Amino acid sequence: MALIVSTKAEAGIVDVARRNGIPCQVIEERGDEFTRKLLGYIEENRIEMLALAGFMRILDAAVIHRLNGAVVNIHPSLLPRHGGKGMYGIHVHEAVVRAQDRTTGVTVHMVSDRYDEGEILAQRSIAVEPSDTAVSLQERVKRLEHEMYPKAISDHVRRLNSEGNSDQ
């Protein structure tokens, strides 16, 4: 079962869900109420894995533990560089430009109880051009994210399925 959960009714993913006939729930509440509703949807829909995208909140440990750690996230840098608290969105790209990094990229990783420190599943890099600003870099990294994330999730699910089958 697939389910899209958004924190904003006006998010583009809500329209994508409608156009593609994918069930979608919007949870605008925060804190414990958000966690309670999300856990309810996970149970109700028998969700086994959660893939975060553009998720700008701390995910409660109860959700991570309920899914046995099967929570994946994407980060717009080559972790562990430019990860951690406050490192999201344009802030990451500003840090890359400020540090005069020659490369940056995208990291797909498992979510743990610590910011951006879960197991790395996949990374892809791109060169930081001398003319890059945080905004131009963000656009190039975003294109890489859109290209990479679905494949990384698919590869991860395939690995999980093959590991599960090898136990039998």
pLDDT digits (tens, 9 = 90+) for 107-130: 999 998 888 999 999 999 999 999
In a domain, 31, yes or no: no
Residue 32 within any structural domain of the chain: no
**116 within some domain:** yes
Residue 55 lies in a domain: no
In this prediction, residues 152-168 reach a mean pLDDT of: 78
Here the CATH number for the domain that contains residue 100 is 3.40.50.170
Task: Give pLDDT, residue 115.
Answer: 85
Q: Closest Cα to residue 114, out of 74, 152, 59?
A: 59
* Structural domain includes residue 160: yes
In a domain, 43, yes or no: no
Rounded Cα distance, 95 and 132, in Å? 12
**Domain assignment of residue 61, yes or no:** no
* Residue-range definition of the domain harbouring residue 100: 74-166
Q: Helix %, strand %, coil % for the chain, to 5?
A: 40, 15, 40
- Residue 131 DSSP code: T
Residue 75 appears among annotated catalytic residues? yes
Choose the catalytic residue: 65, 75, 109, 146.
75
Q: How many domains does the chain have?
A: 1
pLDDT band at 3 (very low <50, low <70, confident <90, very high): confident
| 135 within domain boundaries | yes
pLDDT tens per residue across span 27-69: 999 999 999 999 999 999 999 888 888 887 888 999 999 998 7
Q: How confident is the model at residue 143 (pLDDT cuts 50, 70, 90)?
A: very high
Question: CB–CB of 85/65 below 8 Å?
Answer: no
pTM of this prediction exceeds 0.75: yes
- The per-residue DSSP string of 42-66 comes to HHHTT---EE-SS--SPPPHHHHHH
What pLDDT score does 165 carry?
63
Indicate the helix (H) or strand (E) that contains 128.
none
Model pLDDT for residues 76-90, shown as the tens digit of each residue:
999 999 999 899 999
